[in-house]
Amino acid sequence: MDKQKPKVAVNIFVIKDNKLLLGKRRSTAGDGSWGLPGGKLEFMEHLIAGAKRELEEETSLIADLAFENIVNDPCDVDSTHFLHINFLANNIIGEPKLMEPNKCYEWKYFSLDDLPEPIFIGHKKIIPAFIEKTVFID
């Protein structure tokens, strides 16, 4: 019998003028909810390389990335289990562009104390951890 295994996701916090970049998800899990740029780590891919790939694929942004936090998220609500490894973007080059219109309606910056609703279920623990400077959640 095959056991289900957790998936690994890499997510990126892009901050500009104390505002967080979020995308409104389309045609994927969480349609209409707001989430960070990021996605699943590919087989044999290094964490930072995967995060940089996701950031550029989704937003066209290029940045140096620094480790921010890890969130283990077994979720009873949608029966998923992700290990989220999250990074902070530094030395950002470019402005966000909608690179995958089939997966995202728009990219927009939001004040950290006035985030939109609904937040994507997979990022509900990640964003507060970032704001509170929590490095690990299990």
H helix or E strand, kind and range, residue 81: strand 80-93
Block means of pLDDT (10 residues each) for the chain, 138 residues, are 82 97 92 97 98 98 98 90 97 98 97 97 96 96
Residues 8-44: pLDDT tens digits?
999 999 999 999 999 999 987 899 999 999 999 999 9
pTM higher than 0.85, yes or no?
A: yes
Does residue 2 sit within a domain? no
Cα gap 83→79, rounded to integer Å: 14
Residue 80 structural domain: 8-137
Does residue 47 sit within a domain? yes
Work out how many domains the chain is built from and give that number.
Answer: 1
Does residue 1 sit within a domain? no
The CATH number of residue 44's host domain is 3.90.79.10
Cα gap 58→73, rounded to integer Å: 23
